[in-house]
Copies of this chain bind each other. A is one copy, B any other.
Amino acid sequence: MTNRILIKDLHQHIGEEVEIAGWVDVRRDHGKLIFIDLRDASGKVQMVALPSNEEAHKIAGNLRPEWVIRVDGIVNARPEKMIKANQLNGELEIEIKEIEILSEAKELPFDKDTELNLDTYLDYLPLTLRTKRSSDIFKVQATILEAYRESLRKQGFTEFQSPALVGGDAEGGSAVFSVDYYYDKKAFLATSPQFYKQIMVGAFERPFTIAKVFRAEKSATTRHISEITQMDFEMGFIKNHLEPMAILEQAVKDSVEAVASNHPNIFKEFNTEKPLLPKHFPILTLLEAQEILEKEFGIKAIGELDMEPEHERQICEWAKKNKDSDFVFITHFPTDKRAFYTYADPTNPKLSLSFDLLFRGLEINSGSQRIHNYDELVEKIKSRGMDPKKFSYYLQIFKYGMPPHGGSSTGLERFTARMLELSNIKEATSFPRDMNRIDNLLSK
Enumerate chain A interface residues (CB-CB to B < 8 A).
Answer: 1-2, 4, 21, 23-24, 40-41, 66-68, 70, 102-106, 108, 124-127, 129-130, 134-135, 138-139, 141-142, 145-146, 149, 153, 158-167, 177-183, 185, 187, 189, 196, 199-200, 202-206, 210, 212, 214, 216, 218, 226-227, 229, 236-239, 372-374, 392-394, 396-404, 412, 429-431, 433, 435-436, 438-440, 442
Contact = CB atoms under 8 A, between A and B. Distances in A.
Contact of A442 (B183, B402, B436): B183
Q: Work out how many copies of this chain go into the complex.
A: 2
B237 A21 contact: yes
B41 A204 contact: yes
A203 B139 CA distance: 9
Contacts of A204: 41, 135, 138-139
Query: What's the dominant secondary structure at chain A's contact region?
Result: mixed
A205 B153 CA distance: 28
A396 B124 contact: yes
Contacts of A394: 126
Contacts of A66: 400-401
Q: Interface centre among A124, A182, A229, A396, by most B CB within 10 Å?
A: A182
Contact of A226 (B106, B165, B433): B165
A203 B134 contact: yes
A436 B145 CA distance: 34
B203 A135 contact: yes
A104 B376 CA distance: 12
Given A103-B402, A127-B400, A237-B4, A181 B187 contact: no
Given A160-B142, A161-B412, A125 B199 contact: yes
Given A138-B204, A202-B127, A396-B127, A438 B103 contact: no
A2 B429 CA distance: 38
A160 to B, nearest CB: 5
A207 to B, nearest CB: 9
A106 to B, nearest CB: 5
A178 B177 contact: no
